[in-house]
Structure 1
Amino acid sequence: MQVIFNADDFGLTKGVTDGIIQSHTKGIVTSTSLIMNGRAVSYAVEQAKKHPSLRVGLHLVLSWGKPLRMDVDDLMNEHGYFKFTNTYNNMPTPNLEQLKSEWQAQIEAFINTELPLNHLDSHHHIHGWDPIKKITIELAKQYNVPVRYIPSLKCHREILRTDYLYTGFYGNGVRKDLFNQLKKVKTDTIEVMTHPAIVDNVLKELSSYSTKRENELDILKSIHVPDWVTLIE
């Protein structure tokens, strides 16, 4: 089985960034996803350039923080933040023209860092939301970059990074028997979503998922990779 261990939220905070770097240099994480409206983006880019073996993709955002563009009013609330949340499935369809321009801005901001763009995924997996997945497909083809597997995109294998996404290494699923769980999945290529971090005060302010990130980091640094697994980027 070929496995990608990807760390989400690179650049969210300095502690998250440092944790992801450790999970790569001392552990099994092979790639990460940079969130362009995070609090430590410049620091994350600096660290990525010091560790070129860590592949970096883009964590597209529509459901957290502020947009990069200021002319996407239909995507924002009265405080200038994205109005969409992790319950977006129950929300009205976004203004698709504004969404595409915002996501292009996020991609172009990434490209301007001069880091190679390895892949696309998104916060809360919103890139697979049915009303907007057409934009995801268009951008993947426009920038010639693979996209994180989501069931709603399974018919577009030509753009997918793997055949399956494992989301079980999260919350109560953060356990040392991770590879035993992966072995039960019948697939050839799989991405494991992870969120390692060194918890800092900024992270505590921004995310309800904090303490468990250090548990993830400890496991990702200590876990043994069995011989039936090939780590890929």
Structure 2
Amino acid sequence: MSRIRGLIITADDFGLHPRVNEAVERAHCEGLLTSASLMVGARAAADAIERARRLPSLRVGLHLVLADGFATLNASRIPDLVNHAGRFGDAMVRDSIRFFFLPRVRSQLEQEIRAQFEAFAATSLPLDHVNTHKHFHLHPTVLSLVLKVGREFGMRAMRLPLEPDAPSGLRPWITLVKARLDHHGIVHNDHVIGMTQSGQMDEAAWIRALERLPNGVTEIYSHPAIAGEGAEPVTQSMTGYRPADELAALVSPRVAAAMHATGAVRGGFADIFSDAFRCARRMENRIGTD
């Protein structure tokens, strides 16, 4: 097994709120953040895009929202997906069944996925990666549509939500996702950290993760935000999250020292899966078998 490590450090929900956008910029300029996943239909997306354009070293990907957030298309075009305000619900089990069995719903889903890719393309930002809010691409129908539409927009990388401590019931689905990404030539991380401690990736969590960093390519993601007044969450679905602590971890000297000690190559998906990195991995694997 290769000892070379690649490390992708991502902030999800870029565009969700100005406090999130400010945290992303600070974590990239003053800390360890290498990439961010953009919600193109979110209320603060325009502010996020403006910040990303002045941060060319920040790798930006598309964070497809198909649950618990706002759609890109008008509600009248996708009435089976959103409420009158254009917002997806959070009944993901119910929606999963509808996506699979109802052609009408599936057609609207494809239209919305395409609209989000189109909105990202309109930013003129390079598409570093694609992932989904709440990891909805574990659903086979969603994944099929993302692969179909994403191919048209130059999608080259996706997040594989494979975490060592993930529930065992997810593993068969993750194995299928990996096989399909490999079949379609879509690069992906080997491991992910941030699922089981979503909203709780503070300094201590980061240091523990880095001390146990596996070989291969690992993506660590979190949800940083600047602290608001009182205990007000960025959004109600993030009640209980500690985004200010997650931001503090991304600019922590202790975390930076722990990261340096791993010897990992750090960057976005485009950097980690560059020809130079892949060549180095092949060379080390060859040496290991001699």
Q: TM-score by structure 1 length? A: 0.89
Partner of 1:159: 186
Which position in structure 1 is the counterpart of 2:70? 66
DSSP-derived class of the 1:42 partner = helix
Which residue pairs with 1:226 in the alignment?
Answer: 260
Deviations 1:33-70 (A, max 9, x none): 11012121111111111111101111100102332212
1:65 partner letter: G
Structure 1 portions without partners, runs of 5+? none
1:175 Cα shift? Answer: 3.6
**Superimposed CA distance per residue, residues 131-159 of structure 1 (whole angstroms, 9 cap, x where no aligned partner):** 32211222332222211113241112321
- Counterparts of 1:168-179 in structure 2, within 5 Å, are 168-179=196-207
- Structure 2's unaligned 5+ residue stretches are 100-104, 162-173, 269-290
Equivalent position of 2:125 in the other structure? 115
Q: How does 1:1-233 map to 2 (within 5 A)?
A: 1-70=5-74, 71-83=77-89, 85=90, 87-91=91-95, 92-94=97-99, 95-145=105-155, 146-150=157-161, 151=174, 152-155=176-179, 156-157=181-182, 158-167=185-194, 168-184=196-212, 186-200=214-228, 203-209=233-239, 212-222=242-252, 223-224=255-256, 225-227=259-261, 228-233=263-268
Distance in 1 separating the partners of 2:27 and 2:145: 32
Counterparts of 2:56 and 2:197, CA distance in 1? 25
The CA deviation at 1:122 is: 1.1
* Aligned pairs, number: 231
Q: What displacement does 1:164 show? A: 1.8
Residues 1:172 and 1:147: Cα distance change in structure 2 (over 3 Å):
closer
Kindly indicate whether the alpha-carbon contact (under 8 Å) linking 1:61 and 1:122 is maintained by their aligned counterparts in 2.
yes
- Residue 187 of structure 1 deviates from its aligned partner by 3.8
Distance 1:27 1:104 in 2: 33
Structure 1 residues 162 and 204 mapped into 2: Cα distance closer, same or farther (>3 Å)? Answer: closer
Bigger-Rg structure (1/2): 2
**Partner AA of 1:189 in structure 2:** V
Q: Deviation digits for residues 166-210 of structure 1, max 9, x if unmatched? A: 124534453435244244354400111111111346854544347
RMSD across aligned C-alpha pairs, in angstroms? 2.2
1:226 alignment partner AA? H
What's the TM-score once normalised by structure 2's chain length? 0.72
CA contact (8 A) 2:199 2:222 kept: no
Q: What SS does structure 2 have at the residue aligned with 1:192?
A: strand
Provide closer, same or farther for how the CA distance between residues 13 and 220 of structure 1 changes in structure 2, counting only shifts above 3 A.
same
Whole-angstrom distance in 2 between the partners of 1:105 and 1:48: 20
